[in-house]
Amino acid sequence: MHGIAKIEKAGATAQRLGQVVVGIAHNIGVGFSAKHFSEEMFAGAMDPLLMVDHFIMTAPTFEPHLHAGISAVTALFEDSEGVFLNRDTLGHNIELKAGDLYWLTAASGAAHEEKPAKNSRVHALQVFVNLPERLKKCPARSLQVNAGDVPTIDGNGHRVRVILGASGGVKGETGTPEEMTMLDGFLAAGGRFSHALPGGLQAWIYAVSGTVTVAADGEERVLPAGTATTVEAGLAINVAMMAKAPAHFVLMAGKPIHEKFVKHGPLVMSTADDVRRTLADFAQGKFGRIPA
């Protein structure tokens, strides 16, 4: 899932808003298609996010695989159809459904497999979130958020699911390793939603469908479907999402880590030695087995 980003010109140099980046189309077989974003495409402004895939999966695509040094997050959209089967070396064998989130903090190492059940059409985000060095060697753990437990902000022209963190006094799940906000928002024609981004947090905003205009501190970025932008960490700032026609957006925000790392596929460790050690531990079965 690598490639060269297409970056649209945004005019004058932004003070807080980043450039508009177009996701890279990525297809595997006939059962997986995605828009792919990676941290290289945003020159570090995506931190602590490392990768986001906006995908549709209708058939098993990936073999069981190892993660380490990161959190691997699966967030199903409400229009997903059927069941997404998730098995991992923490002993879980669960069925994720529309609107659910599963956060696997792989840390020192964990393997998982995710695949759609028969006749399912999974529409979701897969997000890799970096962990600071002090957490990379901790035991793996997980967090599941059921759609029915996600609070919603309903207003004039907007409906926003607060999956993680908080917005407008509405609190979602807070059990992530580091502070993280995840908003799944829907705008009606002429709709507007404003999120107060706390000081020190960096945001990544993605247009799932429709066209979303992002405004902050007098700047604006227009995001057609399949594009994303960032808000640089700094003082607290209000970030508004607006749309002339119905649109769907996702906002994720966390504290940037600003640490060097070594990336080996889905392993993101502090040093190359850490990568080699993790692979050796996995080969020796030290992270457990995926349930049958």
Q: What is the pLDDT of residues 191-240, one digit of tens each?
A: 999 999 999 999 999 999 999 999 999 999 999 999 999 999 999 999 99
Which pLDDT does position 289 carry in this prediction? 79
pLDDT (average), residues 41-58:
96
Q: In 3D, which of 149, 136, 118, 99 has the Cα closest to residue 274?
A: 136
Asked whether the predicted pLDDT for residue 3 surpasses 70, the reply is no
**What would be the CATH architecture of the domain defined by 15-283?**
Sandwich (2.60)
DSSP assignment string, 148-170: GG--EEEETTEEEEEEESEETTE
Which pLDDT does position 165 carry in this prediction? 98
- pLDDT class for 9, splitting at 50, 70, 90? very low
Asked whether the predicted pLDDT for residue 8 surpasses 70, the reply is no
CB neighbour class for 264 (10 Å; exposed up to 12, middle 13-18, buried from 19): middle
How far, in Å, CA of 182 to CA of 208, rounded?
A: 14
- pLDDT class for 47, splitting at 50, 70, 90? very high
Asked whether the predicted pLDDT for residue 274 surpasses 90, the reply is yes
What's the Rg (C-alpha) of the chain?
A: 18
Asked whether the predicted pLDDT for residue 4 surpasses 80, the reply is no
Which of 147-151, 205-209, 287-291 comes out lowest in average pLDDT?
A: 287-291
**Strand pairing class (166-167; 170-171):** antiparallel
Which pLDDT does position 281 carry in this prediction? 87
pLDDT (average), residues 102-109:
96
Which pLDDT does position 285 carry in this prediction? 81
- CB atoms under 10 Å from CB of 13, counted, come to 5
Q: In sequence order, what are the beta bridge partners of 195?
A: 239
Asked whether the predicted pLDDT for residue 86 surpasses 60, the reply is yes
- pLDDT class for 250, splitting at 50, 70, 90? very high
- What percentage of the chain carries pLDDT values higher than 70? 95
**Strand pairing class (84-88; 110-116):** antiparallel
Which pLDDT does position 45 carry in this prediction? 95
Mean pLDDT score across all residues of the chain:
93
Q: What is the pTM of this model?
A: 0.92
Give the tokens for residue 256: 């940037």
- pLDDT class for 147, splitting at 50, 70, 90? very high
C-beta separation of 288 from 89 below 8 A: yes
- pLDDT class for 5, splitting at 50, 70, 90? very low
Q: In 3D, which of 131, 161, 257 has the Cα closest to residue 200?
A: 257
